[in-house]
Amino acid sequence: MFSNENGLFREAKKAKVLPNIILCILWVLLFLIGGQIIGSTFAYFTKRIIGNNPGVLLLNDLVFGFVFISLLVFARVKFREKRSISSIGLKKDGFIKKYFIGFGIGILMFSIVVLLLSISGHTVVNSNPISPSGIAALSGVLIVIPGWMIQSATEEILSRGWFMNVLGARYNVAVGLIVSSTFFGLMHFANPNVSILAILNIVLVGLFLGLYVIKTNDLWGVCGLHAAWNWTQGNVFGFEVSGQKVTSGSLMHLKLTGAEWFTGGAFGPEAGMAAAIVLSIGIIIIYFIPLHKSSKD
């Protein structure tokens, strides 16, 4: 059904060099480690200036924790592979519309996860939240959106825009999709309160997002979807995001209760069967949606 002669795989084949699977993994690790070292150095100094506002601090961490990873990927694509940045899926045509469609899908999907948790009796309102909630949290909820946008876009640029498409171009689409999705899951292995189901669910996230990129021939949509998923999870409903507590506040502050295999427990809903159900349905739906016509041009 899928061919690496089309879409972004064809764009990746224009690269001057296409590293093998081992070198690809090493490059991903280099991007991650190098970008975070540079970013943490900047973040150390900016924290001394911005004060103690939780929303601003989270924004600072998200921006400097991720933006240099993207810049390193861009540098390799531009100067080593001798191709345009747009070739990884960041074309300018209609990018705002594509981004916001993805953002809307992300809000919808995570809201369905919460609906499933709520109707099954697995959520309660946290009456004693440690971070601001409701109207009092509005400024913090809004100010972190650019941070989630950068964090999520970086993970998509690295995992789907570069890693998946380079592997898919060198080998085949299945290798690119499966290896990048598996590695995406393993990238979260060191997160607090992680579990096997959490890693499996994040692999499912990678499969869904990878299929979205393949079907749309574009990266903007998944950047928006990923950002909305994280923002909705942490700053709308007040859950942990991949095990990380969000201290900038949330519009609601729900608490998971009941069987952790279903709710995700301390890792957040991403580690539970409720999210697995929604992601699995999403994968089936996106798989059967026709390919974007431009991916065959």
Does residue 60 carry a pLDDT above 60? yes
The mean predicted confidence, pLDDT, of the chain is 94
Give the mean pLDDT of 86-108. Answer: 97
Give ∠ CA 262-263-264 in degrees, rounded to 5.
100
Does residue 78 carry a pLDDT above 80? yes
Digit-coded pLDDT (tens) for 160-175: 999 999 999 999 999 9
Domain ranges of the chain: 7-292
Give the mean pLDDT of 128-144. Answer: 86
**pLDDT attached to residue 297:** 43
User: Sign of the CA dihedral 210, 212, 218, 222?
Assistant: negative
Secondary structure (DSSP) of 226-245: HHHHHHIIIIIS---BTTB-
Give the mean pLDDT of 217-234. Answer: 97
Identify the DSSP state of 163. I
Spatial contact of 54 and 131, defined as CB atoms under 8 Å apart: yes
CA distances from 16 to 76, 78, 82 (A): 11, 10, 6
**pLDDT attached to residue 33:** 97
Question: Cα–Cα distance between 150 and 155 in angstroms, integer?
Answer: 9
3-state SS class at 125: strand
Digit-coded pLDDT (tens) for 11-49: 999 999 999 999 999 999 999 999 999 999 999 999 989
Digit-coded pLDDT (tens) for 259-278: 999 999 999 999 999 999 99
**Nearest CA among 223, 105, 118, 207 for reference residue 161:** 223
CA distances from 221 to 60, 105, 216 (A): 24, 9, 8
Q: What are the tokens at 262?
A: 């279903």
**pLDDT attached to residue 48:** 87
Where do runs of H (alpha helix) occur along 6-94? 7-12, 21-50, 54-75
Question: What band does 152 get if pLDDT is binned at 50, 70 and 90?
Answer: very high
Does residue 295 carry a pLDDT above 50? no
Q: Which residue has the tokens 């998509």?
A: 156
Please count the CA atoms within 13 angstroms of the CA of 182 that sit on its side-chain side. 8
Strands 123-125 and 254-256: antiparallel
Does residue 63 carry a pLDDT above 90? yes
Does residue 1 carry a pLDDT above 70? no
Question: What band does 130 get if pLDDT is binned at 50, 70 and 90?
Answer: confident
The phi and psi torsions of 203 (rounded to 5 degrees) equal: -60, -40
**Nearest CA among 285, 287, 251, 263 for reference residue 113:** 263
**Nearest CA among 158, 157, 156, 154 for reference residue 27:** 158
Amino acid at 2: F
Give the mean pLDDT of 172-197. Answer: 95
